Structure 1
Amino acid sequence: MIESHTLDFLKELVENNNREWFQANKDRYDKARGNVIELAAEVIAKLHKVDPSVSADLDPKKCVMRIYRDIRFSKNKTPYKNNFGISLPTQGSKLGGVEYYLQIQPGKSFIAGGYWMPEAEHLKAIRQEIDYNAADLKKVIDDKEFVNLFGEFRKQDQLKTTPKGYDADNENIDLLRLKSFIVVHELKDKEVTSANAADKIVDMCSRIYPLNVFLKNAIA
């Protein structure tokens, strides 16, 4: 579970996003990060039983992403993120690709899964899988409970044009135009700070699991 001190630290960081304040509160950051690592370890152990492709040997410390922002090409020069991100890969220890992702942020925590912005080769493979086996994907994403939890899958970033190699009148063109294949479910503060937070998160992951299976099969 996430302790209240972790959310308190993140709330104050928003108001004091500068190196001086961060250094003065480094002990609080280390404590908060340690709390997030503990949650990541608990989730990994439980999630492995649901999705064996999430290795039980994942290092939770490496799954918790850096809080330091890359500001080289950003107009926003604040040095720190206002959240903790946890990446849970399904293909070894390399972060990214088909994965589950947990974000801890006061009032804006969420669990997500799928494949965000696939590389060109993987995007081509996923589109081919949709073209050949769209019924398998639609069985997952059009399920009433799935839609209630994650919303309409097709309503995410799409190409404005038709992907190369496909016809505009393809019955699955709305899926073929997708740039990413992800789902998101928001988590309330009381959910991430509850004693059964890890169970709640893993339950959401279990609902995402069929989508990840489809995507992994596409790029295998």
Structure 2
Amino acid sequence: MDFTRLFRFLRDLNTNNHKEWMDAHRKEYHTVRDSYKKWLETLDAELSATDPDYEHTPAGKALNRINNNLLYHPNKPVYKDNFGAVLDKSPVKSEFYIHLGISESFIAGGFYRPEKNILASIRDAIDYDGEELRKILGKPSFKKLFGGGLYDDRLKGNPKGYTKDHPQIELLRYKSYVVVHELSEKEITSPGFMEEVISVYRKLLPFRNYLSKAITV
């Protein structure tokens, strides 16, 4: 996979973010996209061999559309400046997400703004056994990889049903349960990028498994 070509295409698209340019360069878009899909298929197979509980995710299902949804976000550009993909895709699992873009690139895991019932189940798990989640987040190797801790998306007050003196109130205030590992373009374009993604996947598993268990038990 030529990731340098992928970033070059995204930069050109960002500079010429309109349908006429995309129509004129659609062949290049398809070449880059299809090459990335093949890379995702190889990664999918590697992750399947790494994790017996991994959910096979076809590249076409994993890869997000490059078009922004202008019906709900009319002020956004026509096209995104990134390729986003969700692997290990299952309704009963937290996400494993890869975001390659010109403004930011990262690997993330967890639930971003989950539905009300999922969020309630996660909070129930934290109420019951929040120390287990703290141990996962506090492990030195985990902190080194996901240095920012949980993505900062939380309530100013307390969630309904929990008081401010609850021992896990800081964890319970989150609206998203996501950790992020930032990537540089140099890392992405290096020969060992796939191995790095697999390594991050493995280190994410305890966190993602905690959340997945929370919504299924």
Q: TM-score, normalised by structure 2?
A: 0.93
Across the aligned residues of Structure 1 and Structure 2, the Cα RMSD in angstroms comes to: 1.7
Q: Residue type matched to 1:26 in 2?
A: R
User: What SS does structure 2 have at the residue aligned with 1:185?
Assistant: strand
- The 5-angstrom pairing of residues 87-126 of structure 1 reads 87-91=86-90, 98-106=94-102, 108-126=104-122
Residues 133, 210 of structure 2: 8 Å contact kept: yes
2:193 equivalent in structure 1: 197
Q: Is the 8 A contact 1:67 1:81 kept in 2?
A: yes
CA, structure 1 residues 200+189, in 2 after alignment: closer, same or farther (shift >3 Å)? same
Match in the other structure for 1:170:
166
In the alignment, is the contact (CA less than 8 A) between 2:84 and 2:97 conserved in 1? yes
Matches within 5 A, 1:59-138: 59-91=58-90, 98-106=94-102, 108-138=104-134
2-structure distance, mates of 1:53, 1:115: 18
Q: Secondary structure at the match of 2:73?
A: coil
**1:108 aligns to what SS in structure 2?**
coil
Offset at residue 134 of structure 1 (A): 1.0
Q: 1:211 to 1:2 in 2, by over 3 A?
A: farther
Which consecutive residues of structure 1, in runs of 5 or more, have no partner in the other structure? none
1:128-178 CA deviation, whole Å, 9 max, x = no partner? 100111121111101122122112424611111211111111111010010
Within 5 A, what are the aligned runs for 1:6-85?
Answer: 6-56=6-56, 58-85=57-84
> Aligned to 2:53, what secondary structure does the other structure show?
coil
| Residue 155 (structure 2) aligns with | 159
Please tell me whether the aligned partners of residues 108 and 181 of structure 2 are also in contact (alpha carbons under 8 angstroms).
yes
The answer for the alignment partner of 1:187 in structure 2 is 183
State the shift of 1:15 in Å. 0.3
Deviation at 1:203, TM superposition (A): 0.7
2:33 partner letter: R
What displacement does 1:116 show?
0.9
Which one-letter code corresponds to 2:201 in the other structure? C
Q: Report sequence identity in percent.
A: 35
Following superposition, the deviation at residue 77 of structure 1 comes to 4.1
Matches of 1:85 and 1:43 in 2, distance apart?
Answer: 14
Q: Distance in 2 between matches of 1:152 and 1:127?
A: 21
Give distance in 1, aligned partners of 2:63 and 2:151. 29
Determine helix, strand or coil for the equivalent of 2:97: strand
5+ unaligned residues in a row in structure 2: which ranges?
A: none
- The structure 2 residue matched to 1:150, chosen from 133, 146, 149, is 146
Deviation at 1:75, TM superposition (A): 4.4
CA contact (8 A) 1:112 1:184 kept: yes
User: In the comparison of the two structures, how many residue pairs are matched?
Assistant: 216
Equivalent-residue separation in structure 2 for 1:81 and 1:199 (angstroms): 26
**Structure 2 Cα separation of the partners of residues 154 and 167 of structure 1:** 21
CA distance in 2, matches of 1:2, 1:217: 37
Higher mean C-alpha deviation, range 37-46 or range 175-184: 37-46
